[in-house]
Amino acid sequence: MLTRSRSVGAAALLALLGCGRSSKDDSTASERVASEPSVALATSPDPVCGRIVFATEAEHELQRLEWIAASGGPISPVTTTPLDAGFSEFPAAPTPDARALLVLSSQTLAEGQTLDHFGLLELDALPGTPRAIGPQAQLRNPSWAPDGTWLVFESNAESFRDLYRLDLASGSVLRLTNDPQGNFEPAVSPDGQRIAFVSSRDGNAEIYVMTADGGSPTRLTYAIGDDSAPIWSPEGQTIAFFSGRERERGIDLFVMDAEGKHQRPLIDDPTRTQSIIARDASFSPEGKHLAFTQLVPSGEGGGVVIVDAQTGKVVARTIGERVDEQPTWSPDGQHLAFARNRGEHSDIARIRVDGSELVVLTSGEGVHWLPRWVADRECPRAAPPRPSPASRG
Amino acid sequence: MSRLSLASLSLLLLPLLFAGCDDDRDGRGIGDPGIADEGNDDAAEQDPPEVPEGLDEMFAAASDEFDVPATILRSVAQVETLWQMVEGSVEFDGQEPSVGMMALRGANLEEGAALAGVTVADATNEPLANIRAAAALLSAMADEQGISDRSNYEAWAEVLGDYSGITNVDARNAYIHAEVFPAIVASTPTVGDQGGRDIFAELPEDQTVGAGPDYAGSIWRPSPNNSARPGGSAGDPSMVVIHTCEGSYSGCWGWLVNPDSGVSAHYVVNNTGSEISQLVAENRKGWHVGATYNCSLNGNTDCAKNGSGSNNFTIGIEHAGYAKQASWDANQIDASARLVCDISQGQDIVRDQYHIVAHGRLQPYNRIDPGPNWPWASYLAAIQTYCNEMPQPEPEPEPQPEPQPEPDPQPNPDPNAAISIIIDSNDALNGSNADMTVSNAWTSGSGPTDWQTGYWWRSTQAVSDAAVFSFYLDAPAQLVVDAWWVSGTNRSAAAPFMIFNSSQQKIGTVYANQQQNGGKWNTLGIYNFQAGWNHVDLSVWAAAGYVVVADAVRVRTP
């Protein structure tokens, strides 16, 4: 039987694929529910927990962090940073234990440059003040070690773009790469022993893997067109990445094993009629699904697509007015939040993994984006497959 | 501008390139229909653009209503927008956005809408209302010019120039004679008893226009808005930045060569790919990433290099059109890809998304926003194709010589027997004659080329904190010392190995380059050791900013 909120999602805002739950319920109810998230909570079969941190555009295009309970409710500030501080704050990445959030603060300089720094914000008492860590430079794409003691990121601090490792306890920064053509988009493996990344050192963007201290860089891909944005499956056996190697696919999601073998396009979507641009990919916590944003190059918008991580078959997809993007998984792997662009506004929305139960959490009046779903202590968590324990020395 | 509109700006724009501003040059008539072919040898293969279905009826209706030739309406729409309903963006103070397929802007939009009796909103959003507003405006302008014979296309020249808003004389003439009039010719095989281009009695002769200094397929229209690149790698072009004009081709380059605009780009590509202008030599700095541009959201990820401005090391390409337009002409994309291939070869620029980038929204958490419109995938693929970049053969990965574990060293009672002791970084694997210790400041790591089960590493700094590899000898012996590490570009080029005998005398120091020769035994030398516990220490006291790797040490009879 359809719950009200589920019918909302199906009828008003979401196209379901393969799960047969579409509904013809009236849209009045759906709008009411969408604007009253508490109703959705009351009727939801699986309570959602935790909170969703996101960026909200404030005056002068400055970004500020806010959060909302994943079940809905009022929007609250995350930091106490005043607007006249002159920089934007972005939700870079929650720590693996979800107790803190890495905040990226970005100040606009002349000629299109930014001066960025990281801050670590404890999530127990919000709003709070991020504690500055690491260098000041242009900083991008941070990735946490699984134990939260260090992170890697890319920066132009000393070169076009290279990768660095920041140790939290000592504050020391270790440069991991050194190539004038650039190194990008690091992703720490679930066992903390490897870093997958992109390098153009051989004249073309390819996926590499190196040790967590910068050793044994090994090239995994040899494709015409860019290979980019590698991510690890939770058990560490698979690397997913974007590739432009097959022109008719556009920039699509590919997978390979951690040694670079068995490279193949993942998505098996018979409804696809043209090339796409995929981005924002992430594995669900238990590794069963992958979510990503699928854009249509001709500008017809895009949506969040959820696929089976093994078969690549589409489980569900969202279809909004403009572009649904930036999916983020709930800690139990049963829900996703994403940003729903609509005209001049953007909302934070939430769905179940099967595409049902769409709830728009924010009011439709602001520009809210870059959601990050952060667990709290009450949250059940998916049990990710355990990577093999790291060997010592 | 909100985040949302930025999100749809896949390509971010110079602060507006709406034509404007005065200029100085004498009216060198640029071009005629032949100019495109002169300028770009490769243009011949392209198909002429075709007007979308249903629009000709609208042009005809507006033509009847306001006595403006439908061909003029259709050609203006082609030149301005390729018949797309656009929503221009305000990026530059004092410049109004242009809207609709007729690219009406500012006062023109309001006046045209009023003359046609439509609302500004309709003139902005509805194709027919937009065409009618433009037609009404053009008709009024024709009245002012006293054009009696509206079917005389040449009489419309000044009206078209005024309509464009371009004040640079060269660019205004190019708009009229090299863009709109050729479009009329192309779409009008016969007009009354006039055929083809004969309708333009005074069409300028083919101009001898030189090619740009760096790209043979371009027209050289030098802009004064450039400066010297800094010396050394800081000024070595390493990126190409893709912009959109937010307007027509002539208006775009006309603005960029205007000394008052204070902006430029190295190249401008027209909206059908039939013509490319070079404005700034590639070895000069173009002014295409504006200082006034707010990139708190839109900042180019790679727009800073060693603390210098992005203009120092980039080459900028403008494209006639609008960031928000729904699609891009395939020939324009193709011409641009060909140009970028040429630039990348000449300047040794890596051909990937990190080096060929949108001057677009750049989220600090992320890299580029390819956006919904610019066809990044096929664009980059076309660049690769033009550069004949074949995929490199997938080399069989060099079979990593599986290190043959040496037989477990046994304390050898025979002093004449060969000695081989391996001291592993994993002390659990060491026999009773070997021992390895590190302080807590060392971190464990593992990798495909490590010895056995992993290794220790530590950042270099001005402390010793050595990793100690100890081994026990029953009797004095002369032994070769080998070391094993996992190499990387961030390793110390002078990792200090210090060799001690059992009297704690240092009998040697070897500085090993751990950036290379990882995954194999590297000989450090031959030393005379004593009975008892000798040791090889790896200190972290080396030039800062690197790491040293303590993986395994072997001593063996020579």
**Model ipTM?**
0.78
Give the one of A57, A205, A341 whose C-beta lies nearest to B353's C-beta.
Answer: A205
Instruction: Say whether A213 and B302 touch across the interface (CB within 8 A).
Output: no
The chain A residue lying nearest B8, using CA atoms, is: A299
C-alpha torsion angle, residues A104, A110, A111, A116 (rounded to 10): -10
For B468-493, give the secondary structure using H, E and C.
EEEEEECCCEEEEEEEECCCCCCECC
Among A114-118, A288-292, A353-357, B550-554, the range scoring the smallest mean pLDDT is A114-118
Residues from chain A that touch B391, judged by Cβ atoms under 8 A, are 222-224, 245
B129-164: string of b/e by CB count within 10 Å (b at 16+)? bbbbbbbbbbbbbbeeeebeebeebeebbebbbbbb
Instruction: Say whether A370 and B363 touch across the interface (CB within 8 A).
Output: yes
Coil vs helix vs strand at A301: coil
Residue B506's pLDDT is what? 94
Side-by-side strand order, sheet with A173-175: A139-144, A150-155, A162-167, A173-175
- Return the residue in A54, A211, A248, A251 with the most chain B beta carbons within 10 A, the one to mutate for interface testing: A211
Give the one of A61, A104, A369 whose C-beta lies nearest to B294's C-beta.
Answer: A61
Q: Which amino acid is at B240?
A: V
Residues from chain A that touch B392, judged by Cβ atoms under 8 A, are 202, 222
Count the Cβ atoms, other than its own, within 10 Å of residue A179: 17
Coil vs helix vs strand at B157: helix
Shortest Cα distance from A132 to chain B (angstroms)? 17
Residue A108's pLDDT is what? 77
Q: Which amino acid is at A378?
A: E
The alpha carbon dihedral of B18, B24, B30, B36 has a sign of: negative
Please give the model's pTM, rounded to 2 decimal places: 0.79
Residues from chain A that touch B491, judged by Cβ atoms under 8 A, are 214-215
Q: Are B508 and B525 in contact (CB under 8 A)?
A: yes
Q: Which residue has the tokens 């079979």?
A: B399
Instruction: Say whether B490 and A176 touch across the interface (CB within 8 A).
Output: yes
- Return the residue in A116, A213, A274 with the most chain B beta carbons within 10 A, the one to mutate for interface testing: A213
Instruction: Say whether B310 and A177 touch across the interface (CB within 8 A).
Output: no
Give the one of B302, B311, B381 whose C-beta lies nearest to A247's C-beta.
Answer: B381
pLDDT at A196 over 90: yes
| Environment class of B453 (CB within 10 Å of its CB; exposed 0-12, middle 13-18, buried 19+) | middle
Reference B185, options B275, B269, B69, B83; nearest CA is: B69
Instruction: Say whether A177 and B455 touch across the interface (CB within 8 A).
Output: no
pLDDT in tens, A38-77: 334 444 456 789 999 999 998 887 899 999 999 999 999 9
Coil vs helix vs strand at A60: helix
Residue B400's pLDDT is what? 54
pLDDT at A103 over 70: yes
Mean pLDDT by 10 residues, chain B (558 residues): 35 29 30 34 54 90 96 95 82 66 92 96 95 97 92 92 90 92 80 51 57 93 91 85 88 90 92 95 85 33 48 90 84 95 94 82 38 77 79 49 52 70 93 93 90 92 92 95 95 96 94 95 96 96 92 95
Longest Cα–Cα distance in chain A: 63
Q: Quote the Cα angle for B280-B282-B283, to 5°.
A: 110
Write the DSSP symbol of residue A387: P
Q: Quote the Cα angle for B269-B337-B103, to 5°.
A: 35
More confident residue, B10 or A85: A85
Shortest Cα distance from A24 to chain B (angstroms)? 30
Task: Give the whole-angstrom CA distance, residue A30 versus residue A138.
Answer: 43
- Return the residue in B2, B9, B293, B296 with the most chain A beta carbons within 10 A, the one to mutate for interface testing: B296
Shortest Cα distance from A44 to chain B (angstroms)? 30
Instruction: Say whether A224 and B301 touch across the interface (CB within 8 A).
Output: no
Residue A102's pLDDT is what? 97
More confident residue, A209 or A43: A209
Average pLDDT, chain A: 84
Give the one of A114, A185, A301 whose C-beta lies nearest to B372's C-beta.
Answer: A301
pLDDT at A95 over 80: yes
**DSSP conformation letters of B428-466:** GG--TTEEEE--TTSEEE--TTSSTT-EEEEE--SS---
Residue B99 has phi, psi (to 5 degrees) of -135, 150
A382 confidence band (pLDDT: 50, 70, 90): confident
Residue A114's pLDDT is what? 78
Q: Are B68 and B135 in contact (CB under 8 A)?
A: yes
Shortest Cα distance from B512 to chain A (angstroms)? 15
* Token output for B6: 């930025």
B467-480: string of b/e by CB count within 10 Å (b at 16+)? bbbbbbbeeebebb
Count the Cβ atoms, other than its own, within 10 Å of residue B348: 12
Side-by-side strand order, sheet with A76-77: A76-77, A63-69, A51-57, A368-374
Instruction: Say whether B372 and A300 touch across the interface (CB within 8 A).
Output: yes
Give the one of A175, A296, A390 whose C-beta lies nearest to B446's C-beta.
Answer: A390
Give the one of A112, A218, A344 whose C-beta lies nearest to B300's C-beta.
Answer: A112
Strand-pairing partners, residue A256, are A239
